Amino acid sequence: MNFYEHQDRARKRTKIIVFLFIIAVLMIVAMVVIPVGLISEWSPGAIVISAVFCLLIVGISTLVKLGQLNGGGHVVAEMLGGTQLQRTNNNSSEQKVNNIVEEMAIASGMPVPPVYILEDTSINAFAAGWTPSDAVIGVTRGCIEQLNRDELQGVIAHEFSHISHGDMRINIRLIGVIFGIMALGITGWIFVRHIGPIILHTSSRSRSKEGAGGAGIGLAIILFGLFLVICGAIGTFFGRLIQAAVSRQREFLADASAVQYTRNPGGIGGALRQIGGIAEQYSLAKESGQCNHMFFSQAVSSIFASHPPISERVARIEGIDTASLPDQVDVQTSSGHEQISGFSSTSVKTSVQEASAIRDKRIIRARFTINNISPLIRESLENSWSARLVMFSLLINAQDKKQQKLLKSALSDNELVELQRLLLLVNKEEESSRLPMIDLASPALKQLSNKQQIVFTKTLVDIIKSDAEVSRFEWVLVSVIKKHLTGNSLQKLSKGANKKIRSLSSDVILVLSMLAYSGAENKEQAGIAFAHALNEVGLKDKEICGVNRCNMESVHSALISLCSLLFVEKEKLLRACGVCVEHDGVITVAEAETIRAIGDVLDCPIPMIG
């Protein structure tokens, strides 16, 4: 099963979560309504009020929690007490995890996710976010200090698989669902610990009949609060049950994907053996209970385990008999050297089919590409101030007077001096390093304030429009950067991602026409490339668009509409794009960048081509 099938299956699993949530809420409402009905002799008013009361608490709590988490993965990481790792520092363990995350992101065609560290001695990790663009990777201190590079790479690969499989979106929604179900118990404790005692204390200071009546009300509120606490405890039971039902099989899949990504079963297997050899792994913050399903291994103790047994996970990874493993797996680390073997393909079609499958040779190539970028540029990509200037350097022409005038009005004198220094360095870099530089800049650019991001993207657009023409790379750069910065904004547009190509055929034709023209020497060649691509998506007898219609703004608008396609339909479209650029037997860097940008806009990461 590939990325696209995983994504569509993830959407179906979301429906299962909603179904289980409704069942759990109905059971909780029944637990409240039945006793109220018995006490009130089944008064319709009392029953309706108690039912509405429960539904409001659960519903509002769920919506509020999801609203808090709408900001993306960094919100979850900060909720768990994580702090963002600096891109470069003197701590070799921290730098090791940063390097692994960068390599795997570049190899898979994803923006580099920020890394958060949880100051905890247990070995654990998580991925959080709505889409790859707003994802973060979280690791505990124990994870980065106790695991060797192979083991840490296996754990990070496991988390990247959650990103590519669409599990993060499910996980965040599950946090909201569990919090909503637990909210009844929280409300009960508020009645027991605060509201009831306050009324009792106020009443005790009065000797009047009103005071005695107030004491009775206070006592009744405390008893009702205790009743809600009991209902909340049962609700928590259902929440943990949902957590376990949704999470366990996805962990097996993520383990298998980690082995597929790295070609090294000993890496993730060694990490699991380390965890299995440590008696106590439940030392994370109390908020971890809501997020237990997100972690690499069980974060809190529960009668319903959100993860399969360590021994079974190790057995599946290493292909051994489960019965031969003890309940507590002995510590046995993997070998210190990297085990690297596998394959890579130059075909766009293969890259689309293997979207987000981070093959070992792609990791090697990503590592080579990163190391081949000038150290001075890499250093500049690690903070938001200079990362902006590197992005400007990728666009500007030192001889263009309009651009120079625009930059003088937008930048300070210090920034202009630094920009000139960076421009000389960037011009010496190979074309193939342009997209990796954009990806490496992603964590730093995300640290800009909303106002700074608006000014930055506006300056980029102004630079591009200064010559009244948008080149292909200019469109690529702005599209990828906007996607990196906006994160889950397009996710809202694609909530109803259930359309098929035929229903959006005019947008598909426009995108394929643009690619056909850009890779052809004449209209006849463009027509041949277009016809082959059209056949790939199952459309026939359609005319190629006029070349004047194929401007980048129109294409971008078409791609926004195509975000509502089913993921398996997006796969067809991207394969058709590949056919377009491969028709002449040569894939240029510009064509590979365009395919990657199209994939980014559609929320479909494309691994390195070549």
The residues carrying an active-site annotation are 159
User: If 0-12 CB within 10 Å is exposed, 13-18 middle and 19+ buried, where does residue 249 land?
Assistant: exposed
Phi, psi of 263 (to 5 degrees): 55, 30
Cβ atoms of residues 604 and 569 within 8 Å? no
CB atoms near residue 385 (< 10 Å): 14
In sequence order, which residues have a C-beta less than 8 Å from that of residue 607 and are 6 or more positions away?
107, 108, 109, 351, 354, 355, 356, 357, 358, 359, 362
Coil vs helix vs strand at 138: strand
User: Which two tokens mark 249?
Assistant: 């099989």
Task: State the DSSP H helix or E strand holding residue 160, giving kind and residue range, or none if neither.
Answer: helix 149-164
User: If 0-12 CB within 10 Å is exposed, 13-18 middle and 19+ buried, where does residue 408 land?
Assistant: exposed
Coil vs helix vs strand at 477: helix
In sequence order, which residues have a C-beta less than 8 Å from that of residue 220 and are 6 or more positions away?
none
- Alpha-helical regions (H) of 446-522: 450-465, 472-486, 489-493, 505-518
Task: Tell me the C-alpha distance between 197 and 318, whole Å.
Answer: 58
User: Which two tokens mark 574?
Assistant: 């991207």
Task: Tell me the C-alpha distance between 338 and 340, whole Å.
Answer: 6
Angle at alpha carbon of residue 161, lines to 373 and 479, rounded to 5°: 50
Cβ atoms of residues 379 and 111 within 8 Å? no
Task: Tell me the C-alpha distance between 308 and 164, whole Å.
Answer: 21
Task: Tell me the C-alpha distance between 105 and 159, whole Å.
Answer: 11
User: Which two tokens mark 298?
Assistant: 């069980």
